Structure 1
Amino acid sequence: MIEIPKLSKPAGEDKAPRWFHVAVALSMLLSAGAALVSALKTSATMQALVEQNARLVKAGSTPILQYYAANINASDKSELQLAVENVGTGPARVVWLEMRYDGKLLRSSHALPAEVARTQQLSVPKDAHVYTRSGSIAGDVLTPGRRQMLFSWRGEDVQDKQVEALYKAVDRERGRMSVAGCYCSVFDECWETDFGPDLPKPVQRCEREGHVSVNGG
């Protein structure tokens, strides 16, 4: 039988001191801790980037509706115009839009001249021709930069003196018109607005029930 010789530890070689093992363990623990902190910071940074990107996307898709009123058209001709324009950066889905004159709800903007005639006590013959135009907006989607006409009355269509007096009265009374509405973005973020100086009010959703949109929208 062949015996394998046993290797013996050289004489005088002692075990590593205890503090050395403790130092090695602490070093490994610190390295693991540093790696964990680095991973957490990286995760927090990525999360912040994701949230920032989401905010940028929403900011780039936020609609802002403005009420527009004028008495001259793009050709510098006399024309009474009432419209709503999307001046934001994203599409606006209009759920409802109400129009009032002197506090009275108008189901159609075609009724505006008659209401002005009534309040201003103007006499307009029944056979007088009042060529107004109107458009609906409720339920529509306004892309950025798009303007939707709600009411239009061209001065060149006024051929009667009494109708001309009414035309001028409607022009003067534009300041007594008020418009309110509710619209949403593509992310279903919704706002109510009275088109005044204050910012639109964020709401959970736009409720169409209980509102009568102008022009039958």
Structure 2
Amino acid sequence: MIEPPEAPHHVVEHHRNAGKWFDIAMAVAVLIVSFGSLYVSLHTGHTMEALVEQNQRLVRAQSTPILQYTHGNNVDGEKVLHFEVRNVGTGPARVAWARLNVDGETYDRWSDYALGAGTDLRRLPLQNAPLAPAVLSAGDERPIMRWPRQGGSPELAAWDRVEASRFRARATACYCSVFDECWISHMNGDVPRQVVSCENPEAIAPRGNSGH
């Protein structure tokens, strides 16, 4: 009986070593691919979070109200005191309250400021509308008070008093956006101070949740 020749031991060992290194190379390749996939997933997750945050900022920027208070004493060449508030922002403003402080006196209504001591509103040719509570859309203007200079001596004296003091008047309002982000502002170009709510205006909103 003829037996097949036995393969040399070094050849068998070579094949075993080759198979061993192939297995190691495949395992390393799988690890590299796994780590690569994990990195891509993490990077994609961070990118998506950044995009979501940027989108939220963009939406807020496009929905942030900014109130501006103006006043003057002339309309079409006539002596007319006028006070108005315009929403110059990009979103609607829900005005919760508004006040006017003049020489230490605080008024919730501009007409009370015009009345003064002992002046009868019924005797004044005065048009007025409350600023709060109200909703001002972006671009809307709310005429608060319009008062032509006419009438007798008491009415003219009251008109002149308001005309002389209107530059010392400081308006303050608390208003919120559609996202229930609220601010207190003097409506004169100042940076609005963000608060948690207009019901509790002294509670400052936490950092990182700021608007304008």
Task: Provide the TM-score with structure 1 as the length reference.
Answer: 0.76
* Cα distance in structure 1, aligned partners of 2:127 and 2:104: 22
The correspondence of residues 25-36 of structure 1 with structure 2, limited to 5 A, is 25-36=27-38
2:91 matched residue in structure 1: 90
1:175 matched residue in structure 2: 167
The correspondence of residues 144-163 of structure 1 with structure 2, limited to 5 A, is 144-155=138-149, 158-161=150-153, 163=155
* Cα distance in structure 2, aligned partners of 1:127 and 1:186: 36
Q: Identify which of 42, 53, 56 aligns with 1:51.
A: 53
Q: Judging changes above 3 Å, is the alpha-carbon distance between structure 1 residues 95 and 113 closer, same or farther for their aligned structure 2 residues?
A: closer
How far does residue 165 in structure 1 lie from its aligned partner after superposition? Answer: 4.3
* Cα distance in structure 2, aligned partners of 1:128 and 1:45: 64
2:130 matched residue in structure 1: 136
* Cα distance in structure 2, aligned partners of 1:134 and 1:202: 29
How far does residue 38 in structure 1 lie from its aligned partner after superposition? Answer: 0.9
Q: Judging changes above 3 Å, is the alpha-carbon distance between structure 1 residues 61 and 76 closer, same or farther for their aligned structure 2 residues?
A: farther
Contact kept in structure 1, 2:100 and 2:172, CA below 8 Å: yes
Higher relative contact order (CA 8 A, sep 6+): 1
% same residue: 36
- Shifted more, 160-169 versus 77-86: the winner is 160-169
* Cα distance in structure 2, aligned partners of 1:46 and 1:168: 61
Task: Provide the TM-score with structure 2 as the length reference.
Answer: 0.78
How far does residue 127 in structure 1 lie from its aligned partner after superposition? Answer: 11
Q: Secondary structure at the match of 1:27?
A: helix
Contact kept in structure 1, 2:115 and 2:121, CA below 8 Å: no
2:40 matched residue in structure 1: 38
How far does residue 107 in structure 1 lie from its aligned partner after superposition? Answer: 4.2
* Cα distance in structure 1, aligned partners of 2:163 and 2:183: 30
The number of aligned residues is 190
Q: Judging changes above 3 Å, is the alpha-carbon distance between structure 1 residues 144 and 127 closer, same or farther for their aligned structure 2 residues?
A: closer
1:164 matched residue in structure 2: 156
Contact kept in structure 1, 2:128 and 2:144, CA below 8 Å: yes
Contact kept in structure 1, 2:183 and 2:198, CA below 8 Å: yes
Q: Which amino acid aligns with 2:114?
A: P
The correspondence of residues 1-217 of structure 1 with structure 2, limited to 5 A, is 14-15=15-16, 16-73=18-75, 75-115=76-116, 129-155=123-149, 158-161=150-153, 163-196=155-188, 198-207=190-199
- Shifted more, 141-150 versus 163-172: the winner is 163-172
Q: Judging changes above 3 Å, is the alpha-carbon distance between structure 1 residues 48 and 113 closer, same or farther for their aligned structure 2 residues?
A: closer
Taking only aligned residues, the RMSD between alpha carbons, in angstroms, comes to 2.7
Q: Judging changes above 3 Å, is the alpha-carbon distance between structure 1 residues 24 and 72 closer, same or farther for their aligned structure 2 residues?
A: same
Q: Which amino acid aligns with 1:22?
A: I
How far does residue 57 in structure 1 lie from its aligned partner after superposition? Answer: 0.2
Q: Judging changes above 3 Å, is the alpha-carbon distance between structure 1 residues 91 and 197 closer, same or farther for their aligned structure 2 residues?
A: closer
Unaligned segments of structure 2, at least 5 residues:
1-5, 202-212
Contact kept in structure 2, 1:128 and 1:163, CA below 8 Å: no
How far does residue 32 in structure 1 lie from its aligned partner after superposition? Answer: 1.2
